[in-house]
Amino acid sequence: MSNQNMWEARYRDKVGHTPDGVSPHPMVLEEAQAMLERKRHNDGVSEPLNALDLGSGAGRHALALAGLGVTVTAVDFAASAHELVQRDAAAQGLADRIRPVVADVSSWQPTDREVFDILVASYLHIDLSVLVNSADLLAPGGRLVWIAHAPDSPHGPPPEVVRDTLADFRTRLASLNPHEFRVLRLEEYQLSSEFLDIVVILERLPVGQAHTAY
């Protein structure tokens, strides 16, 4: 069974389609709420934030962000996952805030040079080059929140799936242009007794802002 077929089957399984839980990760909510507050402070009443959820799955982050008033593009290669998202979005009155895209996140690119204020990649265990490349999709001042299962986490993908270390993340992030991006957080985060995460929060610097090392 291919990886895509495995996920299609999982999302059609009412019991097993949310292996990492149904509540949004607190880091995602924290960053989204902070960005909304900054935007209100700087701009007053303004246009909604624009978010991208890579590997959106059953939609826990897309739905949470939409509930905050954020417009979300949700990208996942499993059509069955989008069926779940659309069902729940309709039930919560959020369907007009979530745009589903059936595509492989490792090769997908937005049309019309679209950029995003918030980019989320939660428990998406793929080549870290995707992390570096996706940073180019951030608007100035935008932030990427990337969450992965740490190598020592009791819960996570099967053994054949590589879990990158903090050192792996640090090496990849070092390739980013320091005049355009800064890493605000790169650390292990104990979400619960079952989840030890690696969390990356990356910011695209506002125009004219000096780089701050981490």
pLDDT along the chain (214 residues), means of 10: 56 55 86 87 71 94 95 92 91 96 92 92 91 93 95 86 93 95 96 92 84 48
Confirm if 52 and 124 have CB atoms less than 8 A apart. no
Return d(Cα 27, Cα 9) in angstroms, integer. Answer: 29
Q: What is the pTM of this model?
A: 0.87
Give the H/E segment covering residue 185.
Answer: strand 181-190
Sort residue 79 into left (φ over 0), alpha (ψ -120 to 50) or beta. alpha
- Give the pLDDT score at 112: 81
pLDDT of residue 1: 45
Q: Among positive and negative, which fits the CA dihedral 128, 82, 65, 155?
A: negative
Write the DSSP string, 12-26. Answer: T-TTTS-TT-SSPPH
| CB 125, CB 161: distance < 8 Å | yes
**Contact of 64 with 87, CB cutoff 8 Å:** no
Query: Are 185 and 199 within 8 A, CB to CB?
Result: yes
Domains of the chain as residue ranges with CATH: 3-13+45-153+167-196 (3.40.50.150)
For the sheet with 181-190, list strands across it.
98-102, 71-76, 50-54, 116-122, 138-149, 196-204, 181-190
Q: Which helix (H) or strand (E) holds 55?
A: none
